[in-house]
Amino acid sequence: MHRDHNKPGYGSPPGFWKDEFFVQLADSKFVCTDAFPHDLSYIRVLDADLHEIVYWSIDEIREDPVEVLGAFFGAMKGSP
């Protein structure tokens, strides 16, 4: 995981970042990324308490899209 040093660290503080777009999932998790008109530079999933579960930079997505997308969907699904 390569972090953008201009953004907060893992779940600290919990919540949404400035200029971030998010979608709430049915189980109260959130999928977040850069809001328009910014280019996509990351995707992340937050739990219902707004703590980050996972984060991927655009470089990681480009490097191994199959693995990242599999893990991304797994993070969205979470535990039954």
The pLDDT confidence band at residue 1, using thresholds 50, 70 and 90, is very low
Q: Per-residue pLDDT tens for 33-78?
A: 999 999 999 999 999 988 888 999 999 999 999 999 999 999 988 7
Q: Which long-range contacts (CB under 8 A, 24 or more apart) does 42-47 make?
A: 42/4, 42/7, 43/72, 45/72, 45/75, 45/76, 46/14, 46/16, 46/22
Task: State the amino acid at position 44 in one-letter form.
Answer: R
The C-alpha atoms of residue 67 and residue 49 are separated, in whole angstroms, by 26
pLDDT of residue 78: 79
pTM for the model stands at 0.79
pLDDT of residue 14: 72
Query: Does residue 25 surpass a pLDDT of 80?
Result: yes
